[in-house]
Structure formats: structure tokens, C-alpha cells
Structure 1
Amino acid sequence: MTLDIPFDNTFAQLPPEFYSRQAPTPVGEPKLLAYNEALGSTLGIGTAALDVRAEVFSGNVVPTGAAPLAQLYAGHQFGSFNPQLGDGRAILMGEVVGADGLRRDIQLKGAGRTPYSRGGDGRAWMGPVLREYVISEAMHALGIPTTRALAAVSTGEMVWREGGLPGAVLTRVAKSHLRVGTFQVYASRGQVEALKTLTDYAIARHYPEAEGRMGLLRAVRDAQVELIAAWMSVGFIHGVMNTDNSSIAGETIDYGPCAFMDVYHPSRVFSSIDRMGRYAYSNQPNIAVWNLAQLATALIQQYDASEAVVEEATEIVHAMPDLLEVAWLQRFRAKLGITTAQDEDMELITDLMRAMAEGQADFTNSFRALVDGGARDQFLDPAAFDLWEPRWRHRLEGEPDPEAVMRAANPVLIPRNHRIEQMIASAVAGDMAPFERLMAALANPFEARAEFEDLRRPPAEEEVVKATFCGT
């Protein structure tokens, strides 16, 4: 018996220079750790016994209709161009069109070696798999565009990093896995026809209303603007915004050394490999613009030398910072209960955040406390908040329903780093209860519930997570 998945594949029908046909490498003793029933139902995936699901989502059984492959792409990694990357430990099984009419990829992450593994083992260990499962589903519940987690399976095999770790496979669902780096690989090789084919495919799949190649650039820009503003509004730090981790569909993708801030600081970095702060919290809008410029450079190659095209692409990219500011202001106004726009709003917001940084205030709890009460208690020295609060109260005069606006914009719960680490340690020891509890709590992040009150607590000094890791 196998699992019925209604595959309807399109990427696999593109010419072979876009991928390598590659089946997953079987594992020893697959065991289903988690399965997203609601998402599976949306995707039209049939029901099956747990052991059957484990066999399919570990890669041991390739279901009917799948067309497993590893995608090719390049990318700028911390600013340095790598001309060939590709799926080194992920296998795209195929696509489905869900009950909601949306087309999505189904990918196995940690499914074994591919031609792009570059010496790696193609595997993942349980920690990053469960981390991505929890955080990506939390992002979805927060209303932020993201890849989703369908299943997590332990492999019964060890993965060797600095020592032996329990292996696992994540089943990831995405609008697609097309990245800025997907375009860069063909642009860097001068494969203009392949670049045109890819661009036409991307437009048809994601932005059918886009008018030509510059229309695609504009659509990707607008999607990225909304995504980055959403990240900033919840204190999320992606950690590795390389161009190969920049989805043209405008989704959060590749949860490696990511984290949500506890104590707010604009230059906060968690990634163990980001030693210069390139992908710090406050620098994420700048990097999004830089990444879009790399996409523009690739798309321009499809045209004959034309000053007009270069000027149009430049115009599109140069408009992004202002659009990001508008989107950021909209998000942060809402966090303060403001729906109208006034010139002094930027100063009001930034003054609060400066006080939060100086007062070592918790990002999530401080904003939520503006509506729940006790905001000044979040500051080591509340003097700056006391000066700011009357200005804010005055600004709220005439706003229609600031309390409702703030409750909708400020989550009660985020997947805090120390809780994620505790969950992973328990799962490795065989206890999935903390994982299941986190999933239940984070499914409704804007709702205060007494049974999850402890999950609002910032880390004690000995619980602070100072660095997060890629997991490869």
C-alpha cells in the first residue's frame, strides 16, 4: 500500500538543464514524528497508516505520479557569488494543485545525496527538521508568507556532524522553489534561451498578470516588500538572506540559523556564520534590495543591449527602499493601534524602538503590553517610556478602534529560541510532548491562553540562545 498524492507536475517538464533526475536515498527505520493533517487535506493527500506515511515521507517509497529531481541554482552567499549550488540534500517529488486552487511543490529535505551535494551527505538531523517544522508553521499562523511543513520523519540512522546525531527528513511545501539564484545560474553561464524559458515559466506560474520580464521583476519586488515588512513587524531574523534563499514567490524559505528576537536591538544577529552582521535584523530591508538587484541583472541579459531596459530595471529596484518604508510604517503603525497616516508617525515609532533597545525591552512582550497593560514594566529603566507614552496616547485620539488593531498586529506568542532548543532536546530523548505543545500554542499566536502563559516568558540568563546554526 502506498499514499495517494494527486501530483500534477510542470517543473519536471522543463528541459533537463534545470535539474537532475534523482530519487531519494532510502533510510533504515523511518518513523513518523509529525504530520500536518490540515495541510495534507488541503493538498488532497489521501489517508494512510502511520507506517505508510513514514515510508513515503522518508523517501523509501516513491508514490505514483512523483517525478523526483534536484533543482539547479547558483547564488550570492554573504555577498560572494557561487556559480553552482543546487539542491544538495533536497528532492522535489512533484507538485499538487490543492483544494484551494493553488499549485505547490512537495519536497523532501534531508533525502540523500544529489549531484549538487558538493561532498555533503545529503542528510539532515532531527534538530533542524523539527525547528523548521515549528517555526514555518508558526510563521503561517502569524499570517506571514512561508513554506509549510507537511511531515517530519526520523530515519533510524545517525547523521555525523561534530558527532553522531539522529537523522530526520522534513517534507516541505512551497508555492515553488524558484529562487533569485535559479535565474543567476543561467545568467552567469550566458544561457539566454534557458533564462527565457525559466522566466516564462515563473511568470506563468506565479505572476500571470505581469507584463513581460520587467513586470516579473516588479511583481517579485512587491512580494518581497510585503514579506520583509512582515518579518520586521514580529522581530524575525532570517539569518542567511543569500540569493539562493530568496524566493521569487515572496515566501520565507530555508529556515536555517533563523530566530525571533527576545530583547530588542536593531543590530541583533543570531547566525553563527554571520560574523559581520550582514543579515542583522535592521539590515534585512537593505539586503532585500540588494538581492532584487541581482535578479534584475539576470533578467536584463534576456534583452538586446538597450538603455531603456536598464533604466526601467534600475527604476524598479531603486523604488524598493521607499516601498519598504511605506510597508514598514503600515505594519508598525498597526502595532501602535494607528490606521491613519501622519508625518510624525515615523518619529513616534522609532523613538519607542530606541527606548526599547536602550531599556533592553522584550520585542514581542513590549508591543503586546501596549494593549494588554504593563508596557513600562518591560523596560529596565522606564523613564524613556514614560516620556513617550503621553505622545502615543495623544496620537491615538480619533483612531477608530486602536485596541482591536493592536491585538491583531501584536502576537502573544512567538517560537522563542530557548523553547525551540528545549523542544529539540526532548525530541532527541524520545519525548515529543514539548513539540506537540508548542505546535498547539503557536497555532493561535494572537490569543492569550492561560495554559500557555509560561511560553510568553523571555529566557532566563542561563537559557539565552546566543547563536543559531544552519543545520547542514
Structure 2
Amino acid sequence: MKLVSRYTHIAEDFAVPDLPSPVVAPTLLLWNEAVAKQLDIQVSPSERASIFSGNTSNSTVAAVALGYSGHQFGHFSPRLGDGRAHLLGAVSDQHQQLWDIQLKGSGATPFSRGGDGRCAIGPAIREYIMSEAMHGLSVPTTRCLAVVASGETVYRQPPQQGAIVTRVASSHIRVGSFQYLATQGDVSALQALADSAIARHYPEIQSTGSDRYLAFLKAVIEKQITLVVSWMRVGFIHGVMNTDNTLISGETIDYGPCAMMNQFDFDTVFSSIDRQARYAFGSQPNIANWNCARLAESLLPLIHEDDEQAVELLSPLINGFAEQFNQAFTQMWAQKLGFAGHHTDDAQLVAELLAILKDHRLDYTNTFDELTKSLQGEQVISQPLKAWSLKWLKRTDQHSFAIMRAANPMMIPRNHIVEAIIEEFENKGSSEVLAAYLVALQNPYKLMIENAQWLQPPADGGAQYKTFCGT
């Protein structure tokens, strides 16, 4: 595995050299052959557990822990950083694009703030399953290359088996990364980080001066809108949309307290730590806007030496977020309902549908799947939707089925199934169904008879389900 260093040129305390802490008995639990092949990672099976636990290294590149700040549930922490993660370096794929290889749960770092730097097996398995599911659903996401059991106990409530996740990302540059350097007043490092982000994610930006960084913010806003609209399309609730969990690449990162919505309700919250429902399903667009505003604040020194003039230049981009999002959001609903274009009365049609879904506690995924199937003559529309569907059908045509099938998955990673698999790993160190489940999750828009067991929500609708951060 040929690694190159990344981010060490930004600032001395931005990428801090630090070695993973060895574990007692590393054992490979999961290996993502598709990701390994994509990145041409050639590591023999006998070496995988040792390398991807952090016990050994086959690279001359020094591992680092990255520094970043973060607004956590609205409260600013100027120094967070990788408290339990080590960036081993980056590998180049066949298109000469670099991909970060990071170990999560690999031990304490200078950013740990007294924590043990470890990860329990449950959150590790959740991240693997959920990131693979999101990839299958065509939602931008980080991926997992491997999960390794540490052979050690992680002291949470209750004590659990430890594990290390190997995360693959196009970069680990976060909104919080910019906040970290801006808080320190390091303008040269801030510019170096922005230029690195542009080179990696937005090479089409060729302008100079303030125009360059205005174009960068504009591009990041577009990526965040695309991401959150994708989340809303499939019913994903991130659960912890802090600025340190917002990648400027527009990829989903941090699958700690995430969950999928069963019964439709914009107010759905599953995270046990989100007591104010800040990150509820329907609040995600506003939070994405808020997070982009925090990025804009961090970029002020790169826009103009006078803060007031910088704000004047940046404000139209932030103020335009809502209109831009609404356009993408409207298009998303049109696709879910099979409309090639948009009519003025479509908003009322969507509003009526969502009211029925909420009032009758209908399943979000299955309802849109039923509507899709009904266009091919299947008698599957539930009684509460019968009258509404007559109006909807008048807006469909011969292209509607293909449009809807591409937008509406038959299968999502149901929370109760993910929890059952996690419980298997916690009790036995393996799962009898995971391999087949992962194959099914890579084809969520195709009907496969063998997947029927995984399509239904829990009997109680999952209203009492709770997720936990795992730190």
C-alpha cells in the first residue's frame, strides 16, 4: 500500500504526527474487497489485521491526527480534532485521485482530551453497514475498508469489545478545519487549506483573489445541498450535523447516532443526545445552511481585509441557500412522484401526500415503493392513499415509472436489522446474515425475492428506537 502524506504542509498543529496505539489481539472482522480493488490496495490477508489495527505499518509516511474545531449542537469548541483517529496517509486510485486512509478507534492522540481513543465494536459495525448502504443508495459518502477487532475491552456503559474502523474519504477537510485555523488567526494556513480543498474537490475553480474563495464557498454550498437532498430522498437522519462532521467534499461522514426514518414525520429524531431536536429529519436543510454560514465566517480573511466588506461579498451566497435548496428539494419530490417537469400545483399535491403519511403513520420507504409499483399495474396502494392517488395519476405518464424507480429504493438499512447484526457481533464476533445483507444493500432499487425479509419496518414502527454516539 503506497501512501503519501497529506495536510502536513498546512500548519504545524493542523496535522500532528502521532502513532496509533497497539492492541492486544487484532482480528480482521470485515474487509471491503470492492474498495480495496478501487484503490488498488494490495495487502495480503495475513497482514490486514495488523496493519489496519495500527499495530504495524508498511509505509514510511508518518501517521497524523488532524486538528479541527466544531459547533457541537450549536456550542463552539475551538479545539476538537481527531481524538481517536489516525490518518495513515493517502493512496492514489487509477484516475490519480488521492483518497485518505484513516483508522478510527486507534488510540489516544494529542486531541483526546483525556479520552481513551478507542471505538466499541457496535459503532464500528454500524459505520461499515451504513456507509455501504448509503453508497448503494447513491448518496455521497465515505466508505469503510476494514473493521478489526482489537481483542481489548472498551469501557463504555456497559463495557464492550473494542474495534478499529478503516475509513476511506476523498478528504477529511471539514468546516471545522477552517474554523480551527480561523480561530487561531492563521491566514496563510487558512489559504493553504482552501487551496488544497479546491485542488482536490473543485479544480474547475481557476479564478484568483477573493473571487477564488467566493467560488469555493459557492461550490461547497451546492455540494451540501446535493447531500442533504439525497438524505431526505431516502429518509436518512444524520443525528449529529456538527460543523466538525461536515465535509467540504459533500460526503456523509460520522455514522454514530444516525438512523433511517420509518413512519414519515419531519420531526423524527432518534439520537439520544439530540434532546432539543436540533438535527431532526426536517431540520437538516436549515442546519446545512447554518453550517455553511460558519464556513463563510471562517473565510472572511481570504475575501477582504475589511470584515464588513467581506461579509457584504459573502452574504448573497449564504442568503441564497434557501432558494437554491428549495429548487433542488422541489425537483427531488418531482422525481419521487415520477414527474418529468414541475407544475405550480405540484406543491399542494406533495403537501397532501405528506400529511396523509404523517396522519396515518405510513412508512416512508414502502409508501413510495408502492406508488412506484402501482404504475406497473400492481394493486398495492394502501387505503389512505386511494383518493389522493387519483389526482397523482393524472400527472404521470409513460416515463414516470423509470423516474420513480431511480429515486425510490425498495430497501433501506432498517434500524432494527442493523441493530440485530450489531448484537450478533457483540455476542459472537460475527454475523450469519451480514454478507447477504451487504449484497442486498448494494442493489436497493431492484426487486429480489430473497430480500423480502429485509423490506419491512419493525412491527411497532420503531417509534421508541434510540441511537447513541458511542464515544
Give the structure-2-normalised TM-score.
Answer: 0.95
Query: In the alignment, what sits opposite 2:408?
Result: 410
Query: In the alignment, what sits opposite 1:372?
Result: 373
Letter in 2 for 1:414: I
Q: Does 1:62 pair with 2:60? A: no
Shift of 1:324: 0.9
Query: In the alignment, what sits opposite 1:401?
Result: 399
Q: Does 1:321 pair with 2:305? A: no
- Deviation track 1:404-424 (CA, whole Å, cap 9, x = no partner) reads 111111111110100011001
Q: Does 1:12 pair with 2:8? A: yes
Query: In the alignment, what sits opposite 2:203?
Result: 208
Query: In the alignment, what sits opposite 2:104?
Result: 109
Query: In the alignment, what sits opposite 1:390?
Result: 390
Q: Does 1:48 pair with 2:44? A: yes
Shift of 1:205: 1.9
Shift of 1:64: 1.5
Between the aligned partners of 1:463 and 1:249, the Cα distance in structure 2 is 32
Is the contact between residue 239 and residue 258 of structure 2 (CA under 8 Å) also seen in structure 1? yes
Is the contact between residue 6 and residue 65 of structure 1 (CA under 8 Å) also seen in structure 2? no
Shift of 1:9: 2.6
Q: Does 1:160 pair with 2:170? A: no
Q: Post-superposition, which runs of at least 4 consecutive aligned residues in structure 1 deviate over 6 A? A: none
Query: In the alignment, what sits opposite 1:132?
Result: 127
Between the aligned partners of 2:267 and 2:307, the Cα distance in structure 1 is 40
- Deviation track 1:27-63 (CA, whole Å, cap 9, x = no partner) reads 11111111111110111111412x3101011111112
Between the aligned partners of 2:91 and 2:351, the Cα distance in structure 1 is 44
Letter in 1 for 2:75: S
1:114 alignment partner, SS class: coil
Letter in 2 for 1:322: E
2:394 alignment partner, SS class: helix
Query: In the alignment, what sits opposite 2:256?
Result: 256
Query: In the alignment, what sits opposite 2:356?
Result: 355
Shift of 1:107: 0.3
- Deviation track 1:295-325 (CA, whole Å, cap 9, x = no partner) reads 0000012330064432221000111111111
- Deviation track 1:57-88 (CA, whole Å, cap 9, x = no partner) reads 11111121432000000010111111110000
Q: Does 1:92 pair with 2:87? A: yes
**Range with greater deviation from structure 2 (423-432 or 401-410):** 423-432
**Range with greater deviation from structure 2 (98-107 or 291-300):** 98-107
Between the aligned partners of 1:429 and 1:440, the Cα distance in structure 2 is 23
Query: In the alignment, what sits opposite 2:277?
Result: 277
1:326 alignment partner, SS class: helix
Letter in 1 for 2:416: H
Shift of 1:400: 4.5
Is the contact between residue 335 and residue 409 of structure 1 (CA under 8 Å) also seen in structure 2? yes
Shift of 1:465: 5.3
Q: Does 1:446 pair with 2:445? A: yes
Between the aligned partners of 2:224 and 2:393, the Cα distance in structure 1 is 33
Is the contact between residue 262 and residue 461 of structure 2 (CA under 8 Å) also seen in structure 1? no
Could you tell me which runs of 5 or more consecutive residues in structure 2 were left unpaired when the two chains were aligned: none
- Deviation track 1:312-345 (CA, whole Å, cap 9, x = no partner) reads 2100011111111111111221111112121122
- Deviation track 1:139-189 (CA, whole Å, cap 9, x = no partner) reads 011111100010011111110101220110000000111100101012122
Query: In the alignment, what sits opposite 2:460?
Result: 461
Is the contact between residue 7 and residue 15 of structure 2 (CA under 8 Å) also seen in structure 1? no
Between the aligned partners of 1:375 and 1:173, the Cα distance in structure 2 is 40
Between the aligned partners of 2:101 and 2:322, the Cα distance in structure 1 is 33
Is the contact between residue 217 and residue 296 of structure 2 (CA under 8 Å) also seen in structure 1? yes
- Deviation track 1:254-303 (CA, whole Å, cap 9, x = no partner) reads 11100011111110001100011100000000000000000000001233
Between the aligned partners of 2:427 and 2:462, the Cα distance in structure 1 is 19
Shift of 1:463: 6.5
Query: In the alignment, what sits opposite 1:421?
Result: 419
Q: Does 1:36 pair with 2:37? A: no
Over 3 Å counting, the alpha-carbon distance change for 1:429 and 1:306 in structure 2 is closer
Between the aligned partners of 2:367 and 2:462, the Cα distance in structure 1 is 20
Shift of 1:17: 2.3
Q: Does 1:231 pair with 2:231? A: yes
Query: In the alignment, what sits opposite 1:436?
Result: 435
Aligned-residue Cα RMSD (Å) equals 1.5
Number of aligned residues: 460
Over 3 Å counting, the alpha-carbon distance change for 1:84 and 1:449 in structure 2 is same
Letter in 2 for 1:413: M
Between the aligned partners of 2:380 and 2:60, the Cα distance in structure 1 is 54
Between the aligned partners of 1:14 and 1:75, the Cα distance in structure 2 is 18
Is the contact between residue 10 and residue 189 of structure 2 (CA under 8 Å) also seen in structure 1? no
- Deviation track 1:111-140 (CA, whole Å, cap 9, x = no partner) reads 000011111110001100000100001101
1:58 alignment partner, SS class: coil
Shift of 1:192: 1.8
Give the structure-1-normalised TM-score.
Answer: 0.95
Q: Does 1:172 pair with 2:167? A: yes
Q: Does 1:21 pair with 2:21? A: no
Shift of 1:350: 2.0
Between the aligned partners of 1:311 and 1:346, the Cα distance in structure 2 is 33
Letter in 2 for 1:390: L
Could you tell me which runs of 5 or more consecutive residues in structure 1 were left unpaired when the two chains were aligned: none
Is the contact between residue 91 and residue 109 of structure 1 (CA under 8 Å) also seen in structure 2? yes
Shift of 1:375: 4.9
Shift of 1:437: 2.5
1:76 alignment partner, SS class: strand
